[in-house]
Structure 1
Amino acid sequence: MNLPNKLTFSRILMIPLFIILMSVPFPWGSWDIGNAELPVAHFAAALIFIIAACTDWVDGYYARKYNLVTNLGKFMDPLADKLLVSAALILLIEIELAPAWVVIIIISREFAVTGLRLVAAGEGTVMAAGSMGKLKTATQMIAIAALLLHNFPFSYMNFPFGTIMLYLSLVFTIISGVDYFVKNWSIMRDSK
């Protein structure tokens, strides 16, 4: 297994630790960050999330630079992103930092595109992430990190950066989903 694929698998392995930090009531207290409180456990979970998100960029960079792109990587990389983002968004609903309807649309798009990828794989085609999908992923990662940090450092200015980024990521999620289906409709139409 090459380095990019190892980084992808490490991202998947970080997800349970992230979930535990967000779900278990740790007695570590919280920090006052302007107009909000930032629980220490959420800060630790945000760090895990940010590290995991950075591995996404690093594995893609190394795969392209050293010609280490594999079908396993093309399949596992978007799957790792979807698992990480879905876990984070669902937990953000639980702590009331993300509206459920936004999360439902984002996760529904992920299921739909994954279904399209499975049909394409059945036809012998591996769909790599397109530029709109990458922009969608980047805005989702930024939004989630900001919300996990309870909008720090923007909380001192009372500026809802995390919420704005979440809605921006929703727009890119919808656009990229439509883009995938328009560009790959022939796979669905012609599947056996």
Structure 2
Amino acid sequence: MTLTIPTLLTLFRIVLIPVMVAVFYLPYGWTNIAAAGIFILGAVTDWADGWIARRYGMYSAFGAFLDPVADKLTVAFALLLVVERHDTPVMAMLAAVIIGREITISALREWMAQMGAHGLVKVAALGKLKTIVQMVAISCLLFEEDLLGLPVFRLGEWLLAVAAALTLWSGWDYLRAAWPTMRRKG
């Protein structure tokens, strides 16, 4: 197996997860900003690995498998950190919706691939929008502090609610697209 630059970036994203968690729990006042920075670095490398793969044709089966795994792990761990620090029922519910949808759609994609209908559950524009809103929301929630008078955490809460709504909507689209195959091949 040859490791391409996009795959190396994806592996780097996975390595950033325990670093983000460790930094988050350090006993210093700046750790929220550092954890947000690490999360943002991961989001930028996610964009970069996709761009490089498309631009230079650096696709690999391993990279195609690993990229969504890295995305889901990063989002899940970041949301767990946010909920741990801000353990409200609303925050827990929003995180549960997002994490639950990611697990469900991953399982659906795997099952559809086994059915020979993987093309029906490809990432759509709505899913990309959901991802962007989700990444900005989580960055704001990890950052926590006001910035130039902007209530960053409050903005993150609202954006996470929007991301959860987009998550449900795009999840519904995936299920609706897969439904005919699910009914036929039960």
Change (3 A) 1:120 1:19: same
Deviates more, 1:98-107 or 1:84-93: 98-107
| Distance 1:186-1:79 versus aligned 2 partners, 3 A rule | farther
* 1:65-97 alpha-carbon deviations (Å, 9 max, x no partner): 112233333322111111000101111011007
- Distance in 1, matches of 2:95 and 2:27, equals 28
Contact 1:4 1:58 in 2 (8 A): yes
The match for 1:140 among 118, 134, 142 is: 134
Shift >6 Å, 4+ stretches: none
Is the CA contact 1:4–1:63 (under 8 Å) kept in the aligned structure 2?
yes
The offset of 1:157, in angstroms, is 4.0
CA displacement at 1:186 relative to structure 2: 3.6
How many pairs does the alignment contain?
179
Determine if the alignment matches structure 1 residue 64 to structure 2 residue 54. yes
Q: Secondary structure at the match of 2:59?
A: coil
Describe the SS at the equivalent of 1:69: coil
CA shift in 2, pair 1:75/1:93, >3 Å: same
Q: Does 1:49 align with 2:39?
A: yes
Distance 1:107 1:173, change over 3 A: same
Give the whole-Å Cα distance in 2 for the aligned partners of 1:93 and 1:162.
Answer: 13
Cα distance 1:91–1:172, how it changes in 2: closer, same or farther (>3 A)?
same
Check the 8 A contact 1:119/1:187 in 2, yes or no.
no
The one-letter code of the counterpart of 1:15 is I
What's the counterpart of residue 4 of structure 1?
A: 6
- Equivalent position amino acid for 1:82 in 2: K
Given that residues 2 and 68 in structure 1 are in contact (C-alpha distance below 8 angstroms), is that contact kept between their aligned partners in structure 2? Answer: yes
Deviations for 1:87-131, whole angstroms, at most 9, x for unmatched residues?
Answer: 011110110076111111111101110110110232343654222
Partner of 1:18 in structure 2? Answer: 20
| C-alpha spacing 1:151/1:131, structure 2 compared with 1 (3 Å) | farther
Describe the shift of the 1:59–1:152 C-alpha distance in structure 2 as closer, same or farther (beyond 3 A).
farther
Equivalent pair of 1:116/1:188 in contact (CA under 8 Å):
no
- Structure 2's unaligned 5+ residue stretches are none
Alignment partner of 1:113 is 2:105: yes
Q: CA 1:82/1:51 → structure 2, altered by over 3 Å: closer, same or farther?
A: same
RMSD: 2.0
User: Are the counterparts in 2 of residues 140 and 165 from structure 1 also a CA contact under 8 Å?
Assistant: yes
1:27 match: 27
Q: 2:183 aligns with which of 169, 185, 189?
A: 189
Q: Distance in 1 between matches of 2:36 and 2:164?
A: 20
